[in-house]
Amino acid sequence: MSSPRRRLLWLLYALPVGIFFATLLMGRYGGGVGDALRALFSTDTSDVLHSLILRVRLPRALAALLVGANLAASGAVLQGLFRNPLVDARILGVSSGAAFGASLAILLSGSALAVQTGAFAFALLAMACVLAIGWRMGAAPLVLLLVGIAVSALFDSLLGLVKVVADPLSKLPSITYWLLGGLSGASWSTLAPLAALSVLGLGFLVLVRWRLNLLTLGDDEAASLGVRVRPLRAAMVVAASVLIAASVSQAGMIGWIGLVVPHVARAWVGPDHARLLPASAALGAAILLALDTVARTALPSEIPLGILTGLLGVPAFLFLLVGYLRARGAAR
Amino acid sequence: MKLEADRVSFAYGRGSPCLHRVSFAIEAREIAFILGANGSGKTTLLGCLAGTRRPTNGTVVLDGRPLHALAARERAKRIGVVPQLHDPAFPFSVEETVGLGRAPYVGLFSRPSREDRLAVERALDVVGLTALRRRSTMRLSGGERQLVWIARGLAQGASCLLLDEPTAHLDPQHEHALFAVIRRLATDGAAFVVASHHPGSALLYATHVTFLKGGAVLRSGPPEKTITANALRETYGMEFVVVTGQEGERAVVPRICSADPR
């Protein structure tokens, strides 16, 4: 790897760490950064700001890092697997499954644990449907993509059904708010399953990341290089889906991170997934943490995170698209 | 190295067979052309020879062992494939693309080692692409791209390379340059199977020619004896003339009658 790229990669790794320490000191409660810094290292356990940082900001910041890393890394993996730069978390029906599961849990119970569990369970159910049906039809990328669209549409319809029967004064606003995405519900107890699943999923994908390059070649070509295509692809789809499911069940619907961040990372560190996957994860973590800090500090009331990722993601995507088309024009 | 197909038949799914009892053999230092019209089964035969398609009947044998008895990785260390279409989804560099040829040597949870990188450097050097190593394959000419994929096969350690219509998008100069590399590698001991639409190229570069029609072998043998006006008419359903120049160079020319639409 050339040294400018290596330096850029280290810079990307440092970015979320820097934002992480900065965001712990920022918030609506308390005075300025100086007060927060004092409170962070305070030994007085009755200090409200100290307790706020450790019990609220810290788990929330960690959750933002994990969700950002998961969504961006799974986006990079899915774009590679499907040989399609326009693919993101929504393509496998996982997000739609999660949205339905969370809404159903809000309708029936409303507890945070039930919502997280419901979202996760239905996200995995959606993935299982896509894989089971797609596998029988040969598990080619296009097949999985089409089955994913169908399963997604099915869960979107079921979500519509839940919204219709939900109480418009109590349940429906909760569902709508959840769907807009946010990390206000993050706590140490919700962080634990997210962290465990993230370590598992990201760990596996980081280990096999170089082989993802082989799957971008297409099935026959990869097979001619000695790759057992179907099991490898299935394992990567499962790992990416677990990351998406764990993230959506914690943070609701957060769009655009999985689509745009891998493109930005690809422009910076190149298409080799050995670099692209960790770079995407680091950049996704940094961006989502920065946006979550804005979400909880910019206005007197919290701004849903999904709105912010959209506001940033759409112009970024269009900017990338123009750059891509220009580069193609130049190449010709 | 000897790769043999023995009475190989193949059908996609439950469809009718697109290869019918095809026998074919290639050894080290040979350049074997497979000629045939569109849909005659050339690409399918290459798939069977590569081991990525399993014959419905018959066997493919590599150095006395059935190809399907070999683990996929072992097979990939011996046989390389240069596909017809290079359609990379992402702009991998020349070096990264050739590096993918090291897949059979890299563990599931590993990345290419120093030894793998050296093998890539050697392969790039052999085909003369070292200067372009950092360029995106999307920004190469057609001829350079073919060389990248050949280098990938060399990095793979393959002693037999299967090329599917490698000169489809090349002008005569680049075609000749490509075959100059192929000839040099064959002299050094590699074997090449080339599926092609150009009987003229086979006359110039092949050591052995096989004509396929409707999935069956029409005839096969050395090019000077096999590529005849009769064989070409039977294969392509139109008239050709095989002409010999003043210095003994031979060429295939389609015979267009004045009554034919121009």
Give percent of chain A with pLDDT exceeding 70.
97
Q: Is the pLDDT of residue A76 over 90?
A: yes
CA angle B93, B95, B97 (to 5 degrees): 70
Kindly report, residue by residue over B10-68, the tens digit of the pLDDT.
999 888 889 999 999 999 999 999 999 999 999 999 999 999 999 999 999 999 999 99
Contact B77 A270 (CB under 8 A): no
Contact list, A207 vs chain B (CB under 8 Å): 108-109
CA atoms within 13 A on the CB side of A39: 23
Supply the pTM of this predicted model. Answer: 0.91
Per-residue pLDDT band for A132 (boundaries 50, 70, 90) equals: very high
Residue A110 contacts residue A165 (beta carbons within 8 Å): no
Q: Shortest CA distance to B160 belongs to which of B61, B42, B243?
A: B61
Per-residue pLDDT band for A137 (boundaries 50, 70, 90) equals: confident
Q: Is the pLDDT of residue A40 over 80?
A: no
What burial class does residue A15 get, using C-beta atoms within 10 Å of its C-beta: 0-12 exposed, 13-18 middle, 19+ buried? middle
For the domain B2-227, what is the CATH code?
Answer: 3.40.50.300
pLDDT at position A257 is: 94
Per-residue pLDDT band for A332 (boundaries 50, 70, 90) equals: very low
pLDDT at position B23 is: 97
Contact B72 A227 (CB under 8 A): yes
Average pLDDT value for residue range B192-215? 95
Residue A302 contacts residue A295 (beta carbons within 8 Å): yes
Interface test with chain A among B62, B74, B78, B90, by most A beta carbons within 10 Å? B90
Q: Shortest CA distance to A257 belongs to which of A89, A80, A81?
A: A89
Q: Where are the domains of chain B?
A: 2-227
Contact A270 B96 (CB under 8 A): yes
A80 interfacial to chain B (CB closer than 8 Å): yes
Q: Is the pLDDT of residue B2 over 60?
A: yes
Q: Is the pLDDT of residue B225 over 70?
A: yes
pLDDT at position A330 is: 53
Contact list, B62 vs chain A (CB under 8 Å): none
Radius of gyration, CA atoms only, chain B: 19
Using the CB atoms, write b or e for B42-52: b if 16+ within 10 Å: bbbbbbbbbbb
Interface test with chain B among A82, A142, A225, by most B beta carbons within 10 Å? A225
Distance (Å, rounded) from C-alpha B126 to C-alpha B121? 9
Per-residue pLDDT band for A328 (boundaries 50, 70, 90) equals: low
Radius of gyration, CA atoms only, chain A: 20
**Which residues lie below 8 Å from residue A109, measured CB to CB, with a gap of 6+?**
A115
The overall average pLDDT reported for chain A is 90
pLDDT at position A90 is: 80
Say how many C-beta atoms besides its own lie within 10 A of residue A99's C-beta: 27
Of A207, A228, A331, the CB nearest to B72: A228
Query: Which backbone phi and psi does B252 adopt, to 5 degrees?
Result: -110, 125
Average pLDDT value for residue range A103-107? 95
Contact B91 A271 (CB under 8 A): yes
pLDDT at position A30 is: 66
Q: Is the pLDDT of residue B257 over 80?
A: no
Distinct helix (H) and strand (E) counts, chain A: 15, 0
Contact list, B134 vs chain A (CB under 8 Å): 2
In B, what residues contact A, Cβ < 8 A? 47, 50-52, 71-77, 79-81, 83, 87-93, 96, 100-101, 103-104, 106, 108-112, 134, 138-139, 156
Distance (Å, rounded) from C-alpha A328 to C-alpha A120? 40
Kindly report, residue by residue over B58-101, the tens digit of the pLDDT.
999 999 999 999 999 999 999 999 998 777 889 999 999 999 99
**CATH architecture of the region A3-297+305-324:** Orthogonal Bundle (1.10)
Angle between helices A58-81 and A273-297 (to 10 degrees): 140
Q: Shortest CA distance to B120 belongs to which of B135, B140, B100, B105?
A: B100
More confident residue, A15 or B139: A15
**A11-25, B179-193, B225-239, B243-257: lowest mean pLDDT where?**
B243-257
pLDDT at position B170 is: 83
ipTM: 0.90
Contact B89 A83 (CB under 8 A): yes
pLDDT at position A2 is: 64
Of A85, A228, A274, the CB nearest to B111: A274
Query: Which backbone phi and psi does B35 adopt, to 5 degrees?
Result: -110, 145
Kindly report, residue by residue over A225-277, the tens digit of the pLDDT.
999 999 999 999 999 999 999 999 999 999 899 999 999 999 899 999 999 99
Contact list, B93 vs chain A (CB under 8 Å): 270
Q: Where are the domains of chain A?
A: 3-297+305-324
